[in-house]
Chains A and B, each alone.
Chain A
């Protein structure tokens, strides 16, 4: 297992189009997180899953955003009717979850390289 993979690495789209990003976490990790990072800022939490259950969504995640993790493995983040303000790096991370935290003392997230979205 080579870590957290994200695809595509870079997506350029026109305003109003739909885009989908995919994240493949570390195989034994049961938690998966999505963050958004704009230039010069720290990552902002969007949502996270434990297995296939979406446990929390940020208020940043408007109705145009939807995330799924259908089989508890990979996840997709879809943005409908993109706007220029959606331009950002979308980061995925995974972790072992609560059981791992209890065993090792901290919920350490492993991040992917990110998917950069540019909306023209």
Chain B
């Protein structure tokens, strides 16, 4: 079974600084997708960024970028120029050929003004 591990239960960062959230996963598949979802205190999950495993280029969405290391099965999220609105739970998720998401336990990100 696929597993997703987020080893940082909590992280904090000063506003305008950069923070990196870690994620590792375990799979025997070669073709899959990885996602980062954000869950603000209102608790609705929002997609932040996605990465297709067959693409070597790391995905980027404005201030959000990933470092995808397929051999190491690592998928970290970098948030640049952190803003107060970035405060939330961040979940790493894996989507294999069965097309259901397997989530990690999440990282709570606090932004310090």
Contact = CB atoms under 8 A, between A and B. Distances in A.
Interface in A77-120: 89, 91, 93, 95, 97-98, 101, 105-114
Given A106-B33, A106-B50, A33 B100 contact: yes
B44 interface: yes
Contacts of B100: 33, 45, 48, 56
Given A113-B43, A113-B44, A114-B43, A98 B99 contact: yes
A43 interface: yes
Contacts of A43: 45, 91, 101, 103
Interface residues of A, number: 28
Contacts of B95: 106-107
Interface in B15-54: 33, 35, 37, 42-47, 50, 52
A41 interface: yes
B60 interface: no
Contact of A108 (B47, B98, B102, B106): B47
Contacts of B6: 42
Interface SS of chain B: helix, strand, loop or mixed?
strand
Nearest to A47: B100
Given A106-B33, A113-B43, A113-B44, A45 B99 contact: no
B43 to A, nearest CB: 6
A111 B42 CA distance: 12
B66 to A, nearest CB: 13
B103 A42 contact: yes
A56 B6 CA distance: 26
B76 interface: no
Interface of B: 4, 6, 33, 35, 37, 42-47, 50, 52, 91, 95, 98-106
Interface of A: 31, 33, 35, 40-45, 48, 56, 89, 91, 93, 95, 97-98, 101, 105-114
Given A105-B33, A111-B46, 4 more contacts: A31-B99, A111-B45, A113-B43, A113-B44
